[in-house]
């Protein structure tokens, strides 16, 4: 199988991958994965909410939107020293990447000095840095690049067609414009989305097609399973329509197709993992996922927890690092 990385995938081709028998799809994904990654290495990342709640966007899944009545309490931007202390704890726990998220439509220029100091301080510890701050101006993007930011997260959420059913305060093209700005500044892109929001398979095809046909594939592709939050439109919708949730096999299929279409990307199991059993997570790793968020919380939702991750990794023979990991050939039959 060729190691060539394509950017010309069609929706029909991606749909055909989804339609493969499950065993054939996972086998193909594992073969591609081994050509580009160590199959037994999984990157550990930590995600910290550095500014919580009060967001002007109306993302239908998010407890941090000011548009909805949820139990989340808004807070101001954390102090730099607090963030660096959390980063030190994350590194001591084995994380390789420290991701910082702020609930903003876009950052205010007055906050950029603190943001830059956070990036510089975390990098000085030897950790990879990632920020998610919403939409950026050229000047803000330039400052993050000068600070040495490794990754900028800006998820496209879903397919172009389903997007307006999720959020209306910005457009799908707004997301792509920010990704383009970040990429041109020399910052690695981290971009994925959420499945299980009531979309159908055609939307999952469109979601992956949008990422796999970018000029450069995202360095990281987080795939989230929706965590329904009471008080949000999608959370309330799923409470009354549980069949809209994505099932485990379809989630694994989505991971496998992401791996095949974006061979060099790190595919991260993100939100929703805390409700997955060990067998489902193992299938995701077999299908090409090679990154997780570790710790007890993500931005505002629960997470699997480091102890549970350690036990699972021991059962599966996985190592919590992808730095310096080498791809391996798939053994012949």
What residues act catalytically?
55, 59, 62, 99, 130, 190, 268
Measured on CA atoms in the order 28, 32, 35, 41, is the torsion positive or negative? Answer: negative
In 3D space, the residue among 154, 152, 210 whose CA is nearest the CA of residue 186 turns out to be 152
Neighbours of 181 (CB within 10 A): 19
Structure tokens, 272: 């929703």
Answer for the pair 269, 308: CB distance below 8 angstroms, yes or no: no
What are residue 48's phi and psi, to 5 degrees?
-125, 130
Q: For residue 157, give Cα distances in angstroms to 171, 194, 203.
A: 11, 5, 11
Angle (CA) 203-206-209 rounded to 5° is 155
CA dist 42 and 328 (Å) reads 14
Question: For the stretch 207-241, what's the b/e string if a residue is b when 16 or more beta carbons lie within 10 angstroms of its beta carbon?
Answer: bbbbbbbbeebbbbbbbbbbbbbeebbbbebbeee
CA dist 98 and 48 (Å) reads 8
First and final CA of the chain: distance in angstroms? 15
């Amino acid at each position: 199988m060729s190691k060539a990385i394509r950017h010309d995938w069609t929706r029909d081709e991606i749909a055909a991958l989804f339609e493969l028998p499950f065993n054939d799809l996972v086998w193909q994904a594992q073969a591609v994965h081994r050509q580009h990654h160590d199959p037994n290495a999984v990157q550990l990342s930590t995600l910290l909410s550095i500014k919580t709640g009060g967001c002007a966007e109306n993302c239908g899944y998010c407890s941090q939107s000011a548009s909805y009545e949820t139990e989340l309490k808004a807070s101001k931007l954390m102090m730099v020293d607090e963030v660096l202390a959390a980063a030190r704890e994350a590194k001591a726990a084995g994380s390789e990447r420290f991701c910082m998220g702020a609930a903003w439509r876009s950052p205010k220029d007055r906050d950029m000095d603190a943001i830059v100091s956070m990036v510089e301080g975390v990098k000085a510890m030897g950790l990879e840095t990632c920020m998610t701050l919403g939409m950026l101006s050229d000047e803000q993007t330039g400052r993050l690049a000068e600070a040495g930011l490794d990754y900028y997260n800006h998820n496209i959420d879903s397919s172009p067609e389903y997007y307006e059913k999720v959020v209306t305060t910005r457009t799908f093209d707004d997301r792509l414009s920010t990704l383009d700005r970040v990429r041109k500044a020399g910052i690695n892109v981290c971009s994925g989305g959420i499945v299980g929001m009531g979309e159908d398979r055609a939307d999952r095809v469109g979601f992956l097609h949008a990422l796999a046909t970018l000029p450069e594939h995202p360095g990281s592709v987080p795939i989230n399973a929706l965590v329904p939050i009471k008080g949000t439109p999608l959370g309330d919708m799923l409470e009354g329509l549980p069949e809209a949730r994505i099932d485990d096999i379809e989630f694994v299929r989505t991971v496998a197709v992401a791996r095949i279409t974006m061979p060099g990307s790190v595919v991260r199991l993100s939100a929703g993992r805390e409700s997955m059993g060990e067998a489902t997570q193992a299938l995701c790793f077999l299908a090409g996922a090679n990154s997780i968020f570790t710790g007890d919380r993500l931005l505002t939702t629960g997470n699997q927890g480091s102890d549970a991750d350690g036990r699972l990794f021991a059962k599966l023979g996985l190592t919590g690092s992808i730095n310096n990991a080498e791809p391996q050939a798939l053994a012949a039959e």
